[in-house]
Chain A
């Protein structure tokens, strides 16, 4: 038991291992999706497997980190999400209020696929930036 405990990956190494796993899973997803691009069902199967693998990796990582690390992520989840909503909502209202605005100029393209992709990427970006800022602020405050 003691040997198992000492062999456990902890601290920053655990987080690095987690991101490494996530990168491998992401690469596998992209590779799988490319190989199966002719089969929509195949892409869905690969995506489902990748999501399950990411969830399993996240569960493994979360179980091994200490309570302060968890608290930082809980705070980042709330405040980062709030910041993201606070930024994204006025943008949405502005676009809705001004339908003639040249939103295509910001998009990856003017076809529906590109517009939807741009919207999803925009949501992810504000969420990740808000989360990262809130997470860093939590730790900086406790240095």
Chain B
């Protein structure tokens, strides 16, 4: 199942670099890049952490393409 997300847009709206976002999520910049390009789907705990950081529901950030 392909998953799309709005991470790049949300990050740009806050004027954060990938490194900033990585630091806030406690992951590596490479992981943020893989998430943004949709080539790596986060675990549920990380998806919730992202949702909490952006103060949005998970489904507003991640959409499946089924």
Instruction: Please name the residue on chain B nearest to A69 by beta carbon.
Output: B28
Q: Of A5, A12, A67, which one neighbours B31 at CB under 8 angstroms?
A: A67
B37→A11 contact, CB < 8 A: no
Per-residue 0/1 for A93-125: is the Cβ within 8 Å of any B Cβ (1 yes, 0 no)? 000000000000000000000000000000000
Knowing A67-B42, A67-B46, say if A142 contacts B28 (CB, 8 Å).
no
Contacts of A69 in B (CB 8 A): 28, 30-31
Per-residue 0/1 for B9-22: is the Cβ within 8 Å of any A Cβ (1 yes, 0 no)? 00000000000000
CA–CA, A30 and B35, complex, Å: 42
Min CB–CB distance B7 → chain A (angstroms): 13
Report the contact-size class of chain B (Cβ under 8 Å from the partner): 10 to 19
Per-residue 0/1 for B33-53: is the Cβ within 8 Å of any A Cβ (1 yes, 0 no)? 111010110110010000000
A66→B26 contact, CB < 8 A: yes
**Chain B CB within 10 Å, residue with most, of A10, A11, A66:** A66
Per-residue 0/1 for A67-96: is the Cβ within 8 Å of any B Cβ (1 yes, 0 no)? 111010000000000000000000000000
Knowing A142-B34, A143-B33, say if A66 contacts B40 (CB, 8 Å).
no
Q: Of B31, B33, B37, B39, which one neighbours A66 at CB under 8 angstroms?
A: B31
Q: A26-82: which have CB < 8 Å to B?
A: 65-69, 71
Per-residue 0/1 for A1-35: is the Cβ within 8 Å of any B Cβ (1 yes, 0 no)? 00001000011100000000000000000000000
B37→A68 contact, CB < 8 A: no
Which 3 A-B pairs give the minimum distances between C-beta atoms? A66-B27, A68-B31, A142-B34
Q: Which residues of A contact B (CB under 8 A)?
A: 5, 10-12, 65-69, 71, 139, 141-143
Q: List 27 A-B contacts (CB under 8 A).
A: A5-B26, A10-B26, A10-B28, A65-B28, A66-B26, A66-B27, A66-B28, A66-B31, A67-B31, A67-B42, A67-B43, A67-B46, A68-B30, A68-B31, A68-B35, A69-B28, A69-B30, A69-B31, A71-B40, A139-B30, A142-B34, A142-B37, A142-B40, A143-B33, A143-B34, A143-B37, A143-B39
